[in-house]
Structure 1
Amino acid sequence: MQTLTKWFGLILLLAVLGGLVLWAVTDSQQTQTSGEDTNTLQVATTLPPYATFIERIGGERVDVQTMVPADQSPHAYEPTSQQLQRVVGTDVYFSTGTQIIFEEQWLADILENAGDPQVIDTAEGVALLEKDHDHSHEASQDENHTHDHSGEGEEHKNRDHDTEAKDKHHDSHSEEKHDQHDHSEKHADSHAENHEENTEGGHEQNKDTSFDPHVWTSPERALKIAENIKQGLVEADPEYQSTYEENYAELRDDLDELDRRAQDLNRSLFVVDHPAWGYFAEDYGVEQVAIEEEGKQPSPQRLQTVISRAREEEVSHVIHDPQVNRRAAEAVANELSNVEIVTLRPNGKDYIETLSQFLNALESS
Structure 2
Amino acid sequence: MSVKRFAWLLLPLILLVTAACSGETYEAPPADADVNVAVSILPQQYFVKKVGGDHVSVLVMAGPGVNPLTYEPPKGQFQALKAREIYFLMGIPPETAWLTDIQEAAPHIQRVDISQGVSKIDNDPHIWLAPRLVKIQAENIAQALMAADPAHEVDYRANLEAFQVELDRLDKEIRQVMTENGAEGKLFIVGHPAWGYFAADYGLEMVSIPEHATDAQLQELASLATRKGVETIFYQRGFDEESPAKLANMIGGRVVPLEPLNPNWEANLRSVALMLAKSVR
> Tell me, what secondary structure is at the counterpart of 2:67?
coil
Superposed CA offset, 1:145-179 (max 9, x none): xxxxxxxxxxxxxxxxxxxxxxxxxxxxxxxxxxx
C-alpha spacing 1:251/1:312, structure 2 compared with 1 (3 Å): farther
Aligned counterpart, 1:192 = none
> Tell me, what secondary structure is at the counterpart of 2:59?
strand
Determine whether 1:114 maps to 2:106.
yes
Aligned counterpart, 2:120 = 128
> Tell me, what secondary structure is at the counterpart of 2:94?
helix
Post-superposition shift, 1:42? 0.9
Output the aligned Cα RMSD: 2.6
- Give, in whole Å, the separation in 2 of the partners of 1:310 and 1:78: 37
Post-superposition shift, 1:324? 1.6
Structure 1: tracts of 5 or more residues without a match: 1-29, 131-210
Q: Indicate if the aligned counterparts of 2:189 and 2:207 stay in contact, CA closer than 8 A.
A: yes
Determine whether 1:105 maps to 2:97.
yes
> Tell me, what secondary structure is at the counterpart of 1:46?
strand
Determine whether 1:363 maps to 2:281.
no
Aligned counterpart, 2:14 = none
Matched-pair identity in %: 32
Post-superposition shift, 1:39? 4.9
- Give, in whole Å, the separation in 1 of the partners of 2:102 and 2:202: 36
Listed as ranges, the matches of 1:278-357 within 5 Å are 278-291=196-209, 293=210, 295-296=211-212, 298-336=213-251, 339-357=253-271
Determine whether 1:78 maps to 2:72.
yes
Determine whether 1:220 maps to 2:132.
yes
Post-superposition shift, 1:37? 6.1
Aligned counterpart, 1:27 = none
- Give, in whole Å, the separation in 1 of the partners of 2:216 and 2:206: 18
Q: Indicate if the aligned counterparts of 2:190 and 2:206 stay in contact, CA closer than 8 A.
A: yes
- Give, in whole Å, the separation in 2 of the partners of 1:111 and 1:256: 37
Determine whether 1:238 maps to 2:150.
yes
TM-score by length of 1: 0.62
C-alpha spacing 1:34/1:85, structure 2 compared with 1 (3 Å): closer
TM-score by length of 2: 0.79
Name which of structure 1's ranges 39-48 and 255-264 shifts more when overlaid on structure 2. Answer: 255-264
What letter matches 1:341 in structure 2? V
Superposed CA offset, 1:69-127 (max 9, x none): 2433333322211211211121111111x3x3322122243134124222211011101
Name which of structure 1's ranges 71-80 and 61-70 shifts more when overlaid on structure 2. Answer: 71-80
What is the count of residue pairs matched by the alignment?
Answer: 250
- Give, in whole Å, the separation in 2 of the partners of 1:234 and 1:40: 11
> Tell me, what secondary structure is at the counterpart of 1:94?
strand
Paired residue for 2:188, among 258, 266, 270? 270
Q: Indicate if the aligned counterparts of 1:90 and 1:115 stay in contact, CA closer than 8 A.
A: no
> Tell me, what secondary structure is at the counterpart of 2:52?
helix
- Give, in whole Å, the separation in 2 of the partners of 1:324 and 1:316: 21
Determine whether 1:40 maps to 2:39.
no
Q: Which has the larger radius of gyration?
A: 1
- Give, in whole Å, the separation in 1 of the partners of 2:31 and 2:109: 18
Determine whether 1:63 maps to 2:57.
yes
Post-superposition shift, 1:68? 1.8
Superposed CA offset, 1:173-203 (max 9, x none): xxxxxxxxxxxxxxxxxxxxxxxxxxxxxxx
Q: Indicate if the aligned counterparts of 2:231 and 2:254 stay in contact, CA closer than 8 A.
A: yes
> Tell me, what secondary structure is at the counterpart of 1:323?
coil
C-alpha spacing 1:341/1:128, structure 2 compared with 1 (3 Å): same
- Give, in whole Å, the separation in 2 of the partners of 1:242 and 1:314: 52
Q: Indicate if the aligned counterparts of 1:126 and 1:221 stay in contact, CA closer than 8 A.
A: yes
Post-superposition shift, 1:40? 2.8
- Give, in whole Å, the separation in 2 of the partners of 1:274 and 1:343: 10
- Give, in whole Å, the separation in 1 of the partners of 2:231 and 2:173: 18
C-alpha spacing 1:47/1:39, structure 2 compared with 1 (3 Å): closer
- Give, in whole Å, the separation in 1 of the partners of 2:170 and 2:187: 18
What letter matches 1:116 in structure 2? H
Superposed CA offset, 1:39-83 (max 9, x none): 531100111111111122212111111112243333332221121
Q: Indicate if the aligned counterparts of 1:44 and 1:87 stay in contact, CA closer than 8 A.
A: yes
> Tell me, what secondary structure is at the counterpart of 1:305?
helix
C-alpha spacing 1:359/1:89, structure 2 compared with 1 (3 Å): same
- Give, in whole Å, the separation in 2 of the partners of 1:364 and 1:241: 43
